[in-house]
Amino acid sequence: MYGIGTLVNCSAVIVGSAIGILIKGGLPKRFEETIFSAVALAVMFIGLGGAISGLLVILEGSLATQYTMMMVLSLVLGAVIGELFDIERRLDHLGKWIKSKMPKKLAGNTFVDGFVTASMLFCIGAMAIVGALEDGLSGDCSVLFAKSVLDGISSVLLAASLGFGVAVSVLPLLVYQGGITLLAQFVKDYLTDTLISQMSCVGSILIFAIGLNMIFGKKIKVGNLLPAIIFPIIFALLKSIFPDLPI
């Protein structure tokens, strides 16, 4: 049955968040801060590892880069589109709207930060894209099951610091990852390993940016960079029409 991987992933986030919220009440502030820093470091290195594995390749015994122009153009054009629609602000407003519907005891002061941070962390990146595609194309949920374990652990630590907003991030996770799984059957003829690798590479860079924000505060509007993930698809279409295009 298609979609099982996403349902398991969402369940892991809910269970992990519940554990994190229970832990939150009994942890001293210094423990929360140190745990949050540990999660942020892990997020940074997960993103960095994914980006490096996508951008670097061994050619004739030496390291070389690939997809560099694609990466730069995707991030720059994605930033332009993201700023035009001000996605970051809309995500914050969505978080605030959901918070307004929650009991005050559940919401807390960190609800919006927890919702936005967890939503972007769980939805973007290589495992979300590749796992959802494999689930939709072949029913193989192994990648999403592995992602569920990682997201479950991350949600415990995030919820211990940021509270109930982390649990509510399952809503965009269900829509995003489930949507990719459903669409996979319709776009499978257009997907190539190169395209999936390029999308994963851009997503990993955004994950690294999330880690930076978690440690140093919101220095990068990651929400406004989200359209960057779509541009590898656009470039692939242009490349099919103009084979000599240097992207």
Q: Is residue 70 part of a domain?
A: yes
Cβ(111)–Cβ(165) below 8 Å: yes
The verdict on residue 246 lying in a domain is: no
> pLDDT tens string for the chain (247 positions)?
778 999 999 999 999 999 998 887 667 778 777 877 888 888 888 888 888 888 888 877 788 888 899 999 999 999 999 999 999 999 999 999 988 887 777 777 888 989 998 998 898 877 888 888 888 887 888 889 989 988 998 898 889 888 899 999 999 999 999 998 988 878 777 778 888 888 888 988 998 998 898 888 878 899 999 999 889 989 988 888 888 877 7
User: Structural domain of residue 14, as residue ranges?
Assistant: 4-241
Q: How many Å apart are CA 112 and CA 128, to the nearest integer?
A: 22
For residue 247, being part of any structural domain is answered with: no
Domain count, the chain: 1
Q: Is 8 contained in some domain?
A: yes
Asked if the structure places residue 137 within a domain, the reply is yes
Residue 177 · residue 203 · CB < 8 Å: no
Could you tell me where the beta strands, DSSP code E, fall in the chain?
56-59, 62-65
Cβ neighbours around 41 below 10 Å, total:
13
In b/e form, how buried is each residue of 145-166, taking b as 16+ CB within 10 angstroms? bebbeebbbbbbbbbbbbbbbb
